[in-house]
Chains A and B, each alone.
Chain A
Amino acid sequence: MKRTTRKLAALSIAATISAATLTACSAGGGSDADSNSLNVAFWDYGPAAQANNKALAEGFEAANPGVTVELTPVAGENWGSYYANVATSIAAGNRPDLMLISGEGAQFVTNNDLILPINDYLENDPDAQAIQDGIAPGLIAGFTVDEQVVTLANQWNDMVVYYNTDVFAAAGLEAPSADWTWDDFEATAAALTKDTDGDGEPEQYGFTWASNEIFPGIMPWVANAGGNLTDDAVCTPTVDTPEVSEAVGFLNELIEKKIAPAPMPMSDVFTRFQNGTIAMFGAGRWPIGTFVPAGFTAFDIQLYPTGETYKTVFGGAGYPILKSSANPDLAWEFQKFTVSEDIQNAIVGTPEAPGDSIPSLRAAADTISEVGVPPVNSDLFYASIDDYDTLVPYPAPTNYSEYEAAVLRNLQLIFAGEVGVDEGLATMQGELESIVTCS
């Protein structure tokens, strides 16, 4: 009897462990070499991302009969957490052929040996030169790490100031011009701030910025102060420099003067901008994909104000080929397809359903105004990278998720008024020294 029990128990445990082992070892996703299939991972930040990538996959399948494209949506509250989730997925055995990345992820995918650089394709593919000629050089440079081109950027965003035209009109203010300065900006923001119930706390603020991302948060101010968060090699943090201090100090003063509230998540910024309690904020083209379908069009855009200098802060996005891809040539065709005319025009969108980023092809981007997609000043999007200096390199080290979290965490304390600007930046510098390295 005891022997029977032991046998049963052993059998049960063996079955249990086998099941666990099999589950742990199983791998999924990815294509196999014999089939004409591709697996594409993308950041699923909402319905617009799902629709765009679905259209991309279906378009590629239609243009290449017999080819199937499987989409793998990956969640994430920002690019950093998206990369973390993709890494988790890859560690779990999934092997997409391509994955959407932004400029922030170029170092991450390169230094983790995840991607196949496209230099050979660019040299040997007869279509490559024409494609590159149609794309702003900055977008190629933004995806080049150690002379290796990570991907063709098929869409991008530059940081511009959004302003609520109704709020401006109600305050009797003219639309800002491209040559406005930090002082002009502060005066404008102050004029747009209202304490309607007289309790000493504004109900309507002139400006705010996102608390959950660096890119549309402090970066344009740091760049226009002449600084950066890392050195040019992206190997050493430089947040304790006078330029960064000047930029963060300026933003902190806006809070202290009650012209701006403490920064908040971008989703909250969207809501408050649309209801007019925030008059201006900074972002790329992506808010348009939310505002216009919701029926909100009372806004326009302008360049960030000039400080010590002016530099356009931008970031591209593309679909690099992963080294683990079983069909790299087919993946390259897919990558080329992402910068094809049809896809680029789809990124432009329509007045009713605008795209949420800027097409990489200049020819497509130039049609935004012609098509009538809001806002009025949309030509500024591509002009900002063609006509102005840009912040290169983008300060995105290999450990981007950790780096972004450390920067944002320390900024929270500064903007909450709990540590001084220089003290907070010194602490941030200390933390980043072990995160931003090239060793």
Chain B
Amino acid sequence: MTRLTVERDAGLAAGGSAQPSGSPAGAADAGSPRIRRPRRAGRNRRTRDTRAAVAFLTPSLIAFAIFVFAPSIAVVVLSFFRWNLLSDGTFIGVDNFVRLFSDTRLADVYRSTAFMAVVILAVNVVIGLLLAVLLETRMPNWLRGFFRLSFLFPFVVSSSAVALIWRFLLNKDLGLVNYWLGLIGIDRIDWLGSSFWAPISVIIVSSWKTVGFSILIYIAGLQSIPTEIREAAIVDGANAWQRFFRITLPLLSPTVLFLLVINTISAFQLFAEPKVLTGGGPGDASRTIVQYIYDLAFGAFDLGYASAVGLTLLVVLIVLTTIQFRVSKKWTHYQ
């Protein structure tokens, strides 16, 4: 312990300009471990560190302020106004929030959003884990690389481009999907035009696009589990299921929590896929809450009410994330 402390101090001293003259850096190594750094040198060093930290952080802070902080404040302020982008805004108190309770479409949109989000979340967390485990089983490296690339590729492609291609694939009359289904005797499905199938289409496309990211994170998690533990379990006679449920899954629980949080937030922010695939229709069957906010703001020019709806989404996500963190304490194991 003492040795480590000395090394750290020596390293800091070597890099510091306030090193007393006649006391070269090597002196710290050769000298007493109890040598104390001069207070002034430490203060200067911390000042320099602070300056460096600020210099490095400022660009990010500026971007954060412009693109996140300022708009967030604006949303809160706007939610108390009636404003159509072109005229002066009118302060209307809490009217926009009162309107939330009489907006019948809002409940429908939240219902469809929640349905799609839950299924997409389940696919990412459960199917993603299954695929990641399969990819970590024994197979030739080229095959593993092929599968990893295949799963990850959709994730890096633009959502709009992906949705556009799927729109053709899922076309009722000319789409390849219905053609293939027809070959096995299944009638054409109105993937994009019926209230039942439209949200399912969005789920399929969105899950297909995002599951690669979950697989990637799971693989990283799986590879961080020490092999000694598994080997010990094998020696103790644990079978594959027992090793998975008693060792792999518990040690992977922080990764699962991370994916739960990230995928919940991203699933509730789904926009491009339903916008391009179905336009949110028919009716509001596949409309997401973010799409609804967009429509209110830039279709109806109702910026104030759109901001109020946006704040409800913020509250929903905070509540869901808080619940996830609270509940996760019971099942998350950190190494």
Contact residues of A with B, CB < 8 Å? 1, 4-5, 8-9, 11-13, 15-17, 19-20, 23-24, 80-81, 84-85, 87-88, 90-91, 112-114, 199, 201-203, 205, 212, 261-262, 268, 272, 277, 399, 401-402, 405, 409-410, 412-413, 416, 418, 435
**A402→B283 contact, CB < 8 A:** no
* In the complex, residue of chain B having the shortest beta-carbon distance to the beta carbon of A83: B301
B58 touches A84 (CB 8 A): no
**CB atoms of B193 and A262 under 8 A apart:** yes
User: Which 5 pairs show the lowest CB-CB distances between chains A and B?
Assistant: A402-B300, A412-B282, A91-B85, A412-B281, A16-B65
B298 contacts A90, C-beta separation under 8 Å? no
Residues of A close to B190: CB separation below 8 A = 262, 416
- Which residues of A lie under 8 Å from residue B284 when comparing CB positions? 409
A157 to B126, CA, bound (A): 53
A91 and B86 contact, CB distance less than 8 A:
yes
The CA-CA distance from A20 to B66 in the complex, in Å, is 5
Are A409 and B188 in contact, with the CB atoms below 8 A? no
Residues of chain B within 8 A (CB-CB) of A418 are 194-195, 282-283
Q: Is the CB of A24 within 8 A of B70?
A: yes
A11 CA / B279 CA spacing, docked (Å): 46
Is the contact region of chain A dominated by helix, strand, or loop, or is it mixed?
Answer: helix
For A435, the chain B residues whose CB sits under 8 A away are 300
**Chain A proximity mask over B52-70: 1 for CB below 8 Å, otherwise 0:** 0010011001101110011
Q: Is the CB of B85 within 8 A of A416?
A: no
What 13 new A-B contacts, CB under 8 Å, besides A409-B281, A410-B283?
A4-B50, A11-B54, A16-B64, A20-B69, A20-B70, A87-B85, A88-B298, A399-B300, A401-B300, A413-B283, A416-B193, A416-B195, A416-B282
Residues of B near any A CB (own CB < 8 A) = 43, 46-47, 50-51, 54, 57-58, 61-62, 64-66, 69-70, 84-87, 171-174, 182, 187-188, 190, 193-195, 279-284, 295, 298-302
| Residues on B with beta carbons closer than 8 Å to the beta carbon of A15 | 58, 62
* A-side contacts of B171, CB under 8 Å: 268
Closest CB-CB distance, A120 to chain B, in whole Å? 23
B50 touches A5 (CB 8 A): yes
Min CB gap B189→A, angstroms = 11
Which residue on A lies nearest to B300, using beta carbons?
A402
Contact B43 A201 (CB under 8 A): no
B184 vs chain A, min Cβ distance (A): 13
How far is it, in angstroms, between the C-alpha of A435 and the C-alpha of B301 when the chains are bound? 12
**Across the two chains, which residue of chain B brings its CB closest to A197?**
B182
A283 to chain B, nearest CB (A): 19
Can you list 13 A-B contacts (CB < 8 A)?
A: A12-B54, A12-B57, A15-B62, A20-B62, A20-B66, A20-B70, A262-B193, A268-B171, A399-B300, A401-B301, A405-B299, A412-B283, A418-B283
Q: Which B-chain residue is minimally distant from A4 (CB atoms)?
A: B47
Inter-chain CA distance A84–B279, complex, in Å, is 17
CB distance from A291 to the nearest CB of B (A): 19
A1 with B46: CB separation less than 8 A: yes
Evaluate contact between A402 and B301: CB separation under 8 angstroms: yes
